[in-house]
Amino acid sequence: MLVYKFGGASIADARRMAALLPLVREAKEPLLIVMSALGKTTNALEVIVNAACHGRKEDASALAEKLEQQHLDYARQLLDDSHYAKAVASLQAHFVALEQAAKTADPKFYDRSYDQAVCLGEIFSTCIFSHWLLQNEVPSEWVDIRKVIRTDNTYRDAIVDWDLSQQNAKETGKVLQQGKIVVTQGFIGSAPDGYSTTLGREGSDYTAAILAAMLGAASVTIWKDVEGLQNADPKQFPGTVKINEISYNEVIEMAFYGAQIIHPKTIKPLQNNHIPLYVKCFLDPKLEGTVIQQEVTAAYPPLIALKENQVLIQATTRDFSFITEDNLSTLYRIFHDLKIKINLIQNAAISFVACIDNREDKLTALIPALSEDYKVTLNEKVTLLTIRHYTPEIINKLITDRQTLLRQETRKTVQVVYS
């Protein structure tokens, strides 16, 4: 079997969704489709949640109605009268769920409230796509992934219960064995208490990987609007080059350093089961794309990741004690307890330096916690540059005329924090 994941760009409008039909029909094996929400729907749902949690229930209700109408208009462009009527009947039940989520949103339980609304974007899009396939006589079945992927109750970044989800996935496998295409949602699951959950960053890719691992897929293909993975973000760096093949480990390294690439949690179940991941262009499916797999023999170009809006924090011991195991344990515990990810770390004799994302809520908690035992200094609005497989020329090119605040090098990786 194959797993295809279609993201928001591939279904940005009805014309693009319709253009996916040949891709689906040409699949040579049983096919499971994981789909994201329509473009900008997740953002719209976030606005609805925020309005509801800030006491603007009427605004939230009006925004929900507007979003619902947008999906009805989208469906109307695709479907004939008969299938449109069926799609509307299916969507209405989910629209009621959105309206209920807006009414019951509670700022005291913001993350849970967030998930109950935001999860519905994928439900809406897959409902429409499923009816589009049926209209075109493609044997298919819509599956609510919340009945398959079970998680804990860590809302907005839920942890998958693999054993229970594996048992549930067997029913999905039976649908595939019947010769039907499965259409389901990325990004979402359900907690033990029945509430919907979301899987965090790149959750739709992760869903595709989970299902591929549980059902023994031959491959996963993520369909994007680009030719494949690039060695850097073309929006930040001119003259990027496409990578034809890359290893699981290399992708994990680059994702850790902040590259807008496949998330490590997506790679892990694929790597564990030796399932290749393809990144291909839905605009021109004949293009080769990129394959991510266990072993790669080709040499890599410099791989570049940039994280902007960073903060460089230095904590210096007040009693001039060394930054050894005791102090490191204390410092790590503070970052761990506050759930702050460290993007770069370095320590000297009496000082500890960390580069982190510039989030006001995190800094508000972190600085007082560190200040109890350490003198704290900050460099704000700095940038973290990471280059894998670097050359002296590429380093000089990218940091010329920058004020370097910190630099680390290993055999394969150089990282520079600059202002």
| DSSP string over 207-243 | HHHHHHHHHT-SEEEEEESSSS-BSS-TTTSSS--B-
In-domain check, residue 286? no
Q: Per-residue b/e over 172-183, b at no fewer than 16 CB within 10 Å?
A: bbebbeeebbbb
In-domain check, residue 298? no
Collapsing DSSP to helix, strand or coil, 71 comes out as helix
In order along the chain (419 residues), what is the average pLDDT of each group of 10 residues?
96 97 93 96 97 95 97 98 98 97 96 97 98 97 98 96 97 96 98 96 92 98 94 91 95 88 90 97 95 92 95 96 94 95 95 95 95 96 96 94 95 96
The reported pLDDT for the residue numbered 258 is: 85
In-domain check, residue 119? yes
In-domain check, residue 246? no
Strand 140-142 to strand 188-190: parallel, antiparallel, or no bridges (unpaired)? unpaired
Tokens of 242: 């496409």
The reported pLDDT for the residue numbered 211 is: 98
Q: How far apart are CA 129 and CA 14, in angstroms?
A: 10
The reported pLDDT for the residue numbered 261 is: 83
Collapsing DSSP to helix, strand or coil, 167 comes out as helix
Residue 345 φ/ψ, nearest 5 degrees: -140, 145
Q: Among the three residues 225, 255, 290, which one is the final residue of a domain in this structure?
A: 225
Question: Do 42 and 153 belong together in one domain?
Answer: yes
Integer-rounded Cα radius of gyration of the chain: 23
The reported pLDDT for the residue numbered 202 is: 80
Tokens of 306: 């940039």
The reported pLDDT for the residue numbered 184 is: 98
How much of the chain is in helix, strand and coil states, percent to nearest 5? 45, 25, 30
Q: Among the three residues 225, 244, 276, which one is the final residue of a domain in this structure?
A: 225
In-domain check, residue 52? yes
DSSP label at 12?
S
| Residue located via tokens 């350490």 | 374
Looking at 122-180, which runs of residues are DSSP E strands?
Answer: 140-142
| Residue located via tokens 């003259």 | 239
Tokens of 43: 């953002």
Q: Based on the structure, what is the number of domains in the chain?
A: 2
Print the domain residue range for 361. Answer: 303-418
End-to-end CA, the chain = 49
In-domain check, residue 404? yes
CA atoms within 13 A on the CB side of 37: 25
Q: Among the three residues 225, 245, 277, which one is the final residue of a domain in this structure?
A: 225
The CATH number given to whatever domain includes residue 389 is: 3.30.2130.10
pTM of the entire predicted model: 0.88
| Residue located via tokens 């999906």 | 71
In-domain check, residue 145? yes
18, 6 in Cβ contact below 8 A?
no
The CATH number given to whatever domain includes residue 52 is: 3.40.1160.10
The reported pLDDT for the residue numbered 259 is: 86
Question: Do 308 and 212 belong together in one domain?
Answer: no
The reported pLDDT for the residue numbered 264 is: 84
The reported pLDDT for the residue numbered 103 is: 95
